[in-house]
A and B are shown apart, each in its own frame.
Chain A
Amino acid sequence: AQTVTQSQPEMSVQEAETVTLSCTYDTSENNYYLFWYKQPPSRQMILVIRQEAYKQQNATENRFSVNFQKAAKSFSLKISDSQLGDTAMYFCAFMKQGANSKLTFGKGITLSVRP
Chain B
Amino acid sequence: EAGVTQSPTHLIKTRGQQATLRCSPISGHTSVYWYQQALGLGLQFLLWYDEGEERNRGNFPPRFSGRQFPNYSSELNVNALELEDSALYLCASSTDRNYGYTFGSGTRLTVV
Binding site for B on A (CB under 8 A): 33, 35, 37, 42-47, 50, 91, 93, 95, 97, 100-108
| In contact, A103 and B40 (Cβ under 8 angstroms) | no
**Which of B33, B102, B105 makes the CB contact (< 8 A) with A102?**
B33
B: interface residue count bin: 20 to 34
CA A45 – CA B40 in complex, angstroms? 16
**Which of A37, A45, A95, A106 makes the CB contact (< 8 A) with B97?**
A95
Known: A43-B106, A44-B105. A105 touches B97 (CB 8 A): no
| In contact, A45 and B92 (Cβ under 8 angstroms) | yes
Contacts of B106 in A (CB 8 A): 43-44
A102 to chain B, nearest CB (A): 6
| In contact, A42 and B105 (Cβ under 8 angstroms) | yes
Binding site for A on B (CB under 8 A): 3, 33, 35, 40-43, 45, 48, 55-56, 88, 90, 92, 97-106
A-B complex: 9 closest residue pairs judged by Cβ atoms: A45-B103, A107-B42, A105-B43, A44-B105, A47-B100, A43-B106, A43-B105, A105-B42, A35-B100
